[in-house]
Amino acid sequence: MGGQAVRWTAEQVRALAPDDASRRAGSKLSAPGPWTEAGWGNGALWGQCKGSGSKPYQTVVDLDGGQGPGYRCSCPSRKFPCKHALGLLLLWAGGEAVVAEGGDPPEWADGWLGDRRRRAERKAARGPAGAPEGTNAGQAAAGTGNGADERARAEAAHRRAAQRAERITAGTQELEQRLADLLRGGLAGAEQRGYAPWEEMAARMVDAQAPGLAARIRELGAIPGSGEGWPGRLLAECALLHLLAVGWRRAAELPAPLADTVRTRVGLTLEAADLLSDKQALVRDEWLVLAQRDADEGRLTVRRVWLYGRSAGRHALLLSYGAGGRAPELALPVGAALDAELAYYPGSGSLRAALGPRYGAPLPGFQPPGTGVREALEGYARMLREDPWAEGRPCVLERVVPVPPSDAGTAGGTAGASRGGAGPGAAGWHLAAADEEVALPVAPGTGAAALWRLLALSAEGPVTVFGECGHRGFAPHTAWHQGRVVPL
């Protein structure tokens, strides 16, 4: 069932947790006490954890299943990985003797592992979009019908696309009228009217089949309550929304890559299977997992996973979604490296990608090459030229030192209050270059715990930090120091 997997670090395991509560609960189960019949081998990890009932929970982790880590537990939790899987992984990461190395998994674990890996093998054999084995992408799309059926399907798809384009165009016209009404009445009225008008406008864009526009409008609704300077931020975001609406209507006049970016931002995207069906577009590399972040967006949990290709020297962003309170399926250990293929979505400077076949279990990662603060700002400027709606550009800063505000740690200081979990956390913090007089402000929303952890790491010297450089500052996600990777 595959070779022996490389043991992960505790930091990599904790980064897989779907939320802080699961991370804390998993840490409590990382001692040998509650575990029996634990072992690892053949790319898998298993064990039984004593719970409140008469029967222990049976937990198994597939470390090497051809489709990324997988988890199964007999507990009733709907989180993946659950606290038992996290506890077992932490126990294994710590090298505890209770997790015996070698041997075969027990029957209750082997059955699930075998089924999961056979499904992965069948999926790889079928190829993209569920095509039968030995069928190419064109044949899969055409099916088994005759030429007349194929033409009829193509014509129907063309009509649907044209109808959706008309609805989106009508939606952008209505959006511009509403933006004009907002500016005519004055931005101050936005604070008084509250969130309801924005939600109603977003719903209209959903009706127009423009989910990208709807998402941006919902973000606008939160700006009037975001503190000092909100009118300027609201005006800037309204301008970008207007630019996107105009770009949609004039897409035919734009360069092809920029037109693709506009369509993507509006909400028109390709299916991952269609992207991966183009063998010419696949990029195989050793992909380092730079960071993983979850965010709630309406009724969905969106997981963003950033990668870096060792040979290509290019970043990639994977998106995975979870609905109904469930964690997204895709979970990759931060700091590990994957031998895998992926395909980038179209668009100028696009970083979003679809993950294709993986070859083997995650391997020990490497420290990515970094850049200076000035170069990071120049890179973000180039990205804005290609995609004016980009919030930030992924980059690795090397030899930087976190600098807290002057009142950090004092009773009245903002950062001092943040250390206890209150306050904005990132206010006044900077990442300063160790070798020149230049620094980047830390982006709002960065957690206080991450900032103090980063400061502790820098006690022995400058660190390497991965994050996103944007108009609000630098949002740090992962740090490297003396060969050690630390998710923030």
pLDDT digits (tens, 9 = 90+) for 314-355: 999 999 888 766 778 788 889 999 999 999 998 877 899 999
The per-residue b/e assignment along 26-46, b for 16 or more CB within 10 angstroms, e otherwise, is bbebbeeebbeebbbbbbbbb
CA distance 123 to 18: 26
Give, in degrees to the nearest 5, the angle at Cα 87 between 83 and 93: 145
Nearest Cα to Cα of residue 45 among 88, 80, 78: 88
CA 48, CA 170: separation in Å to the nearest integer? 58
pLDDT at residue 135 in the model:
40
| pLDDT reported for residue 4 | 54
CA distances (Å), 315 to each of 18, 253, 351, 386, 463, in order?
23, 29, 6, 16, 20
- The pLDDT tens digits of the residues spanning 199-244 come to 999 999 999 999 999 989 988 888 888 788 899 999 999 999 999 9
Report CA-CA distances (Å) from 161 to 154, 167, 168, 347: 11, 10, 11, 19
Average pLDDT for the chain: 84
Interstrand relation of 70-73 and 57-62 (parallel, antiparallel or unpaired): antiparallel
Residue 58 φ/ψ, nearest 5 degrees: -90, 120
Helix (H) or strand (E) holding 336: strand 336-344
- The mean pLDDT value for 93-110 works out to 85
Quote the strand ranges of 74-221, DSSP E.
100-101
- Nearest in space to 474 (alpha carbons), one of 440, 438, 427: 440
What's the pLDDT score for residue 126? 60
pTM as predicted: 0.75
Listed in order, strand segments (DSSP E) in 298-330 are 300-309, 315-323
What single string gives the DSSP state of each residue in 217-249?
HHHHHTGGGS-TTHHHHHHHHHHHHHHHHHHHH
Closest to 150 in 3D by CA, of 158, 141, 137: 141
Q: What percent of the chain has pLDDT over 90?
A: 45
- Please write the tens of the pLDDT for every residue from 181-201: 988 888 888 888 888 888 999
pLDDT in tens, 377-397: 999 999 998 899 998 999 999
CA distance 206 to 195: 17
- Per-residue pLDDT tens for 394-433? 999 999 999 998 776 544 444 433 333 333 446 789 999 9
Strands 57-62 and 44-49, bridge-based pairing: antiparallel
- Are 272 and 356 in contact, with CB atoms under 8 Å apart? no
